[in-house]
A and B are shown apart, each in its own frame.
Chain A
Amino acid sequence: MNAMLHGRVAIVTGAGRADGIGFAAARALARYGADVVVTGRRPDLSMAAIHEVGVGPNDLEHRAEELRGPNVRALVSRLDVTDASNVADCVARTERELGRIGILYNNAGIIAGAGSFLETTESAWDLQYRVHVQGAAALCRAVMPVMIRGGGGSIVNMSSNWAVRPRERSSIYASNKLGVIGLTRVIAIEHGRDNIRCNAILPGPIRTTINDSRVRRMSAAHGVSEDEAREMMAAPLALGRVGRPEEIAEVVAFLASDMSSFVTDVALRVDGGEMEGL
């Protein structure tokens, strides 16, 4: 099991944050033997007013350095998933330097534009769609010809349990994360015959920097401590706790590996047992 991804090449988008789900997944893939490309957005694209996205100039290189080992190669790719030439460069360089890409984890995302539905703006709708749906689709379209030439592959797309169990003030995010499931399913149906599997993960609350900022907002909005806010967040879950990035990462590794060779077209909830919604 520990070498179940040996010889595979994986691209993970949105892997620049040390405590994020993307990097946790990159670490899991590397631990199981895959060569990994960690990608992240340029810091100047960060929308500071909404949420600090993007990674610092040296962050990605630090991440890659942590992954490298005697049997694991790691590359860094500055990648804005909304930029077609970035995407093409990333995929071409990965194939050139690491070889055939067999795993793609579309993790990059943003939470721009949270607010009540009537407050949402055209530009926030546009940006989220470009990142979540078009961005994932762009990576898939660039990587899949490589997978087909190599005899198959596994794509894991990051959706959210908000896609099937929406909350107020999440109209853009919920729409886009449900859109990711639609994309996932059509790719699975069209390309199963090419031995490409495509699945979506629907995480519940996971303790990351982004989640911490949500906790702070909840804490302010409800006049409770951050610990209490986190408890509120965990209360609807059967397990009664928020998840860890590693618990998503292990699912990504499972779906990337041959252990899941008959699993495709699945929207997999990894949410500690929320069980509401579709």
Chain B
Amino acid sequence: MTSAERPLDGKVAIVTGATRAKGMGHAAALAMARMGARIVSTGLTERRDDLSTGSFHQVGGSASRLDERVAELRAIGVEAIGVSVDVAKEEDIRRCVDTAVETFGGIDILFNNAGVPTGAGPFLDIGEYAWDIQFDLCIKGAARFCQAVIPSMRERGGGSIINNSSIWGVKPLAGAGAYVAAKAGMIGLTKAIAVEHGPDNIRCNAILPGTVVTELNDSRVAMVSRNEGITVEEVRERMAAPTSLKRLGRPEEIGALVAFLASDAAGFITGAAIPIDGGAQNGL
């Protein structure tokens, strides 16, 4: 195999929030595996009803779900392991990084993808708990993971960190104040890491997905359809209308961008916040 075919040969990647079959985390893990990377897939393996918003979306999964994802990665022909991680728990992250280093010798790539929809609703209804959860899981979860992997990346002469922010980190969205604030905060975190660790040859970028057909989005579509008495197709069409491409994104499309940013092809890109939203007419 030439390096052009497997540009991530020999690299080790950790992906958080990768338990869902139809999610951006697993799609990124698959894309990087196809480019030759060894993968550490992580996710919440216990159900956490306290993080969900009403019946809208179930947060957390099961150990067997993570095992299924790992099996799908191994089927590509790369080494992969699954580690149960709650990004709110420093000891989980430490254990995950130690396991990755013991198993594969170090870490080159980190995709901070874990996130929750907790706190959806009118601004005045966002409680202390939702603010705490959004900041703890989204911003601090990503920051903790970065702090845990950077020493290994530094030892290996560099690395690439990709943070999954959101297009709603840079453009307004009603009814998701805590989420929007946390996603905007992730962009700041991204730039701070980029500037501090550029000299270590560690690149750090944020991706800003628009609406992507994931399990999380399916739940949202189903909820809107129920609440408004319209079909799910109508809901999806409405979500796609503001995009230039007139369609929603696929998880594989997010995965491809993550894999590109992870590779040396993106060697001069750092500190960037990159929209991937089908062209939803954002500001600069």
Binding site for B on A (CB under 8 A): 1-2, 31-32, 164, 181, 188-189, 191-193, 195, 197, 203-204, 206, 237-240, 243-244, 247-248, 250-251, 253-254, 259-275, 278
Contact = CB atoms under 8 A, between A and B. Distances in A.
Query: Taking each of B2, B35, B267, which has the highest tally of chain A beta carbons within 10 Å of its own beta carbon?
Result: B267
A265 B279 contact: yes
Nearest to A199: B279
Given A238-B197, A238-B271, A263-B253, 14 more contacts: A1-B5, A188-B279, A192-B278, A197-B279, A239-B270, A247-B267, A250-B265, A259-B257, A262-B245, A264-B279, A265-B244, A265-B282, A268-B269, A273-B270
Query: Taking each of B256, B257, B269, B271, which has the highest tally of chain A beta carbons within 10 Å of its own beta carbon?
Result: B269
Interface of B: 2, 4-7, 35, 191, 194-195, 197-199, 201, 203, 210, 212, 243-246, 249-250, 253-254, 256-257, 259-260, 264-272, 274-282, 284
Nearest to A181: B284
Given A254-B260, A268-B274, A270-B268, A239 B203 contact: yes
B269 A2 contact: no
B268 A192 contact: no
B23 to A, nearest CB: 15
A269 B269 contact: yes
A273 B5 contact: no
A189 B278 CA distance: 10
A237 B198 contact: yes
13 contacts: A2-B4, A2-B5, A31-B4, A193-B245, A238-B195, A240-B198, A250-B266, A251-B269, A262-B254, A263-B253, A272-B198, A273-B195, A273-B270
Contacts of A253: 265
Contacts of B250: 262
A33 to B, nearest CB: 10
The prevalent SS among residues of B at the interface is loop
B245 A254 contact: no
Query: Taking each of A1, A189, A195, which has the highest tally of chain B beta carbons within 10 Å of its own beta carbon?
Result: A1
Contacts of B203: 239, 273
A253 B236 CA distance: 31
A197 B276 CA distance: 12
Chain A to chain B: the 5 pairs with minimum beta-carbon distance, closest first: A192-B244, A238-B198, A265-B279, A250-B265, A247-B268
Contact of B276 (A204, A263, A270): A263
A152 to B, nearest CB: 10
Contacts of B198: 237-240, 272-273
Contacts of A268: 269, 272, 274
Given A263-B257, A278-B284, A197 B245 contact: yes
A189 B198 CA distance: 34
B237 to A, nearest CB: 14
B271 A262 contact: no
A254 B256 CA distance: 9
A181 B283 CA distance: 11
A117 B191 CA distance: 32
Contact of A259 (B212, B260, B284): B260
A189 B244 contact: yes
B281 A239 contact: no
